[in-house]
Structure 1
Amino acid sequence: MSVPLWLWLATVAGLLLLLAVDLVLVGRKPHEVSLGEAGRWVTFYVSVAVLFGIGIWYFAGGVPASEFFAGYITEYSLSIDNLFIFLIIMNTFKVPAVHQGRVLLVGILIALVMRGIFIAVGAAVIAQFSWVFYLFGAFLIYTGYKLARSGHDEDEEFKENAFLRFVRRIFPVADEYHDAKSFIRIDGKRFVTPMFIVMIAIGSTDLLFALDSIPAIFGLTKEPFLVFTANAFALMGLRQLYFLLGGLLNRLVYLSIGLSLILAFIGVKLILEALHTNSLPFLNGGEPLAVPTIGIEVSLPVIIGILVVTTVASLAKSRRDERAARPS
């Protein structure tokens, strides 16, 4: 798939325009986001992503479009998993409900920029060293195993990462929120507010999640344009999805298992592709191995199937637990 520079520029400009409109709407009138508003925005962003995928299919063909949709669905699913951590961060920093939308939007914007850098570096490494897919595959299988074992603990505490601790050492932090301000002056001295800290926490924490999501999507497509746009669309609808799902997050009890299966599946797919194009001199004399590979026509239905089964099973278990908890 050949992507001209003008298409890159037009796509980035369009994404920035959507984010700018979202930021203006949030900043103009801070408010608690209702379920109706969140649902409309989620529908809008998903519709834009679907139309973008249809455009890829029309201009570039079915294979790139399938790769985009598989990448988008995978990234969006992993982003839903991230919402558990975002919820913990919001509770830890006691972010006022009226300002949570702005915190998420700016934090996600930071994450989008950092992921773009991540993707560019990953694409350059892959172009030079095809054997990196062995590492990606093994890492995804290991991550899937850890995710299946750990799951989500509702009482889990947020632990500040090294970057956030560094920011605290550099900047004095005010003791309380000052509306939506990120910087204030107290007795002539400049402080950052807890609002600024929590934005950094959201953005930097999402980057840590990119350590598994970026290798995962490179396992579905090696086209940087598709990798970036799938990540961008998944992140852009994340803020509204946070408010839409709300308490439903705790009902997705099998989500971690489903995501772990997807990560492990893509990890196996990567290793098979690496073996199929092997160039490591100590393995089969540097020659490719005659192993089967998993095409996108298989990957997309498998990913969708796992998510459907996971969601249905989660909601069914939640209903059973609710009935069992009712007094007889």
Structure 2
Amino acid sequence: MSDMPAWAWGATIALIIALFVFDLLVAVRRPHAVGIREATFWSVFYIAAALLFGLAVWLLGGSTAGAEYFSGWIVEKSLSVDNLFVFVIIMARFAVPAEYQQKTLLFGIAAALALRTVLIAIGAAAISLFSFTFLIFGLILIWTAVQLIRHRDEEPDVEDTFLVRRARRILPVSRDFHGGRMLAREDGDRVMTPLLLVFVAIGSTDVLFALDSIPAVFGVTDDPFIVFTANAFALLGLRALYFLIEGLLERLVYLSIGLSVILAFIGAKLILEFLHEDVTHSVPEIPTPASLGVILLILVATTGASLVRVRHHPEEKAKPGSLRRRRERPREEEPAARPPR
């Protein structure tokens, strides 16, 4: 589907934007704590939308394109679960009230999709220009898998990202949420609320996740259209999925290990593909249906083993894992922090 016409790109982008706007207007128009029934409805809705879009890709682009889309979507959806771990940490660290969480998540996810679109364009251009890009992507994924295994019991420092530090220096930070606004005025001065910091934290940490998820989906397909749509439909509905499985996340104690195995497998697949195309055709390739089967098997085994482990050891809690050891540092005082009015 690499020769996708411009009108199809335009229609797909319009559909994705419309779904985000629909989510914003219908689901987030009134600040409130999200219950299990509401989260279930929206999760099912967006999963159904992703599956219907995949069916359309299968019918219009053929079985190969359809299999690549579903494989890419499953990879991105499974990796996005690790995002949810970090979202939970961010909400807790910044003490975001329940009624403001979904609004912040939605804006953060929209920003993440915009940033990922840029990375996808860069990745697609690199693949078309340099044949060794698959080798680089494969090595990145294997390195990420090793780091995630090494630091699987740690949590990323969501308050120490570059963008969060810069945001704190630009404007004073209020301790008041000001009715869910991101910018407000206190004593005539412009201030940012904690929600704006949360928005920046979600967007900036998702960029780090994209550094492994984008190469991972390119390991399934090199079609930019499928890469983009798999990412978009994996992120759509992530807000609802957060509230649906928030309590389940801490029970997935082996999730980091399962994701590490998936990343290492896709990294090896990319390296084999590079060797097959640029060194010798005697090196075998891993077909997309086989990749899909392996990924699903790893996810099922990881989830099942996690639930069994927690059943016998209920005191254990899952951690999202990190790509580097968290630095021990004294907590900096927030500049010009203002008391609540």
| Bigger Cα displacement from structure 2, 56-65 vs 182-191 | 182-191
- Checking the alignment, whether the CA contact within 8 Å between 1:255 and 1:311 is kept in structure 2 is yes
Deviations along 1:264-289, one digit per CA (max 9) or x if unpaired, are 000000000111112xxxxxxxx535
Aligned CA RMSD, in angstroms, stands at: 1.6
Q: Does 1:94 pair with 2:95?
A: yes
Deviation at 1:156, TM superposition (A): 6.4
Residues of 2 paired with 1:173 and 1:240: CA distance? 28
Q: Does 1:19 pair with 2:13?
A: no
Output the amino acid matched with 1:290: S
**For this pair of structures, how many residues does the alignment match?**
315
Deviation at 1:322, TM superposition (A): 3.6
Q: 1:323 to 1:28 in 2, by over 3 A?
A: closer
Gaps in structure 1 of 5+ consecutive residues: 279-286
Residues of 2 paired with 1:107 and 1:172: CA distance? 21
Q: Does 1:210 pair with 2:210?
A: yes
Output the amino acid matched with 2:208: L
Write the mapping of 1:160-199 to structure 2, written as runs, cut at 5 A: 160-199=160-199
Counterpart secondary structure, 1:226: helix
Deviation at 1:165, TM superposition (A): 1.1
Deviation at 1:179, TM superposition (A): 1.2
Residues of 1 paired with 2:217 and 2:28: CA distance? 33
Q: Give the corresponding residue for 1:311.
A: 303
Output the amino acid matched with 2:69: F
Deviation at 1:244, TM superposition (A): 0.4
Write the mapping of 1:226-305 to structure 2, written as runs, cut at 5 A: 226-278=226-278, 287-288=279-280, 290-305=282-297
Write the mapping of 1:72-221 to structure 2, written as runs, cut at 5 A: 72-153=73-154, 158-221=158-221
Counterpart secondary structure, 1:294: coil
- Checking the alignment, whether the CA contact within 8 Å between 1:92 and 1:157 is kept in structure 2 is no
Deviations along 1:173-213, one digit per CA (max 9) or x if unpaired, are 22321111111122222112111111111111111100000
Q: Give the corresponding residue for 2:332.
A: none
Deviation at 1:26, TM superposition (A): 4.0
Gaps in structure 2 of 5+ consecutive residues: 317-341
- Checking the alignment, whether the CA contact within 8 Å between 1:78 and 1:213 is kept in structure 2 is yes
- Checking the alignment, whether the CA contact within 8 Å between 2:104 and 2:195 is kept in structure 1 is yes
Q: Give the corresponding residue for 1:282.
A: none
Q: Give the corresponding residue for 1:66.
A: 67
Q: Give the corresponding residue for 2:39.
A: 38
- Checking the alignment, whether the CA contact within 8 Å between 2:158 and 2:205 is kept in structure 1 is no
Deviations along 1:287-314, one digit per CA (max 9) or x if unpaired, are 5352011110210111111101111111
Normalised TM-score (structure 2)? 0.89
Runs of 4+ in 1 over 6 A off after TM superposition: none
Identity across the alignment (%) = 51
Q: 1:250 to 1:21 in 2, by over 3 A?
A: same
Residues of 2 paired with 1:143 and 1:100: CA distance? 29
Counterpart secondary structure, 2:220: coil
Deviation at 1:149, TM superposition (A): 2.5
Residues of 2 paired with 1:158 and 1:165: CA distance? 10
Q: Give the corresponding residue for 1:28.
A: 29
Deviations along 1:16-35, one digit per CA (max 9) or x if unpaired, are 11110111134421110001
Counterpart secondary structure, 2:179: coil
Q: 1:109 to 1:323 in 2, by over 3 A?
A: closer
Counterpart secondary structure, 1:191: strand
Counterpart secondary structure, 1:120: helix
- Checking the alignment, whether the CA contact within 8 Å between 1:88 and 1:157 is kept in structure 2 is no
Which structure: greater helix fraction? Answer: 1
Residues of 1 paired with 2:313 and 2:175: CA distance? 41
- Checking the alignment, whether the CA contact within 8 Å between 2:40 and 2:240 is kept in structure 1 is yes
- Checking the alignment, whether the CA contact within 8 Å between 1:164 and 1:197 is kept in structure 2 is yes
Output the amino acid matched with 2:267: G
Residues of 1 paired with 2:186 and 2:309: CA distance? 52
